[in-house]
């Protein structure tokens, strides 16, 4: 169903959007620590008129982007992230203004709590469009960017949206909040430190 729907929307939206930065500020993710980053792209549907891309090209780009964004969180609780690329359209060269498609991709995201041995989310859908600026906004990215640049841009935007979604779930649902055993360990560690300092001063 998702893949069929993707074929209907993959040429949508010519409007520009703000550029996603590689080194954007970190979000509030509590005790989040990514243990594993799984990416699957073998079953992705290529949209009409799209440039060709291999599953390996997509997998490498998304893995790199997700690692870039989520490996920087070093909390005390481990989580696995699984991402499945469901469909994509890499804009080919078109006719400026008249036919100027914008690249897009749809992914499904799973989040698994390692310690609790349960999924926090399964198949959460995210759709991203490529950033448009400068010549790509006028001529289309098919003229101004090669396939590798389009894939890298979509992968970064997907990782950015995943990061923002995780932060929203942390705030709204308490995902990644410190568990009681973690809080107790921290308190015990602080107490041990006080005792050690006290003993050393005697």
Domains delineated in the chain? 2-13+20-201 (3.40.50)
Going 134 to 161 to 147 to 10, the CA torsion angle's sign is negative
Residue-averaged pLDDT of the chain? 82
Whether residue 74 contacts residue 33, with contact meaning beta carbons closer than 8 Å, is answered with: yes
CA 159, chain centre distance (Å):
2
Lowest mean pLDDT among 3-17, 32-46, 56-70: 3-17
What tokens appear for 119 in the block? 């999924």
What pLDDT does 10 receive? 45
pLDDT tens digits along 119-166: 999 999 999 999 866 444 444 454 568 999 999 999 999 999 999 999
Pairing of strands 45-46, 77-89: parallel
pLDDT score of 20 more than 90: no
Going 65 to 75 to 126 to 131, the CA torsion angle's sign is negative
Query: If residue 199 lies in a helix (H) or strand (E), which one and from where to where?
Result: helix 180-201
What pLDDT does 102 receive? 84
pLDDT tens digits along 67-124: 999 999 999 999 999 999 999 999 987 645 445 678 999 999 999 999 999 999 999 9
Radius of gyration (C-alpha) of the chain in whole angstroms? 21
């Amino acid at each position: 169903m998702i893949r069929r729907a993707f074929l209907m929307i993959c040429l949508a939206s010519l409007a520009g959007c703000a550029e996603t930065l590689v080194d954007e500020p970190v979000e509030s993710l509590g005790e989040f620590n990514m243990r594993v980053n799984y990416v699957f792209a073998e079953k992705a549907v290529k949209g009409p008129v799209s440039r060709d891309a291999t599953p390996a090209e997509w997998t490498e780009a998304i893995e790199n982007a997700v690692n870039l964004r989520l490996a920087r969180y070093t909390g005390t609780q481990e989580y696995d992230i699984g991402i499945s690329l469901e469909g994509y359209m890499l804009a080919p060269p078109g006719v400026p203004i008249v036919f100027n498609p914008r690249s897009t991709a749809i992914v499904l995201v799973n989040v698994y709590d390692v310690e609790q041995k349960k999924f926090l989310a399964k198949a959460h859908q995210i759709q991203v469009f490529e950033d448009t600026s400068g010549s790509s906004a006028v001529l289309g990215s098919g003229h101004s960017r090669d396939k590798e640049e389009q894939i890298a841009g979509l992968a970064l935007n997907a990782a950015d949206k995943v990061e923002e979604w995780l932060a929203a779930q942390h705030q709204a649902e308490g995902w990644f909040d410190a568990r009681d055993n973690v809080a107790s360990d921290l308190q015990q560690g602080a107490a041990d430190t006080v005792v050690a300092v006290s003993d050393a001063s005697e």
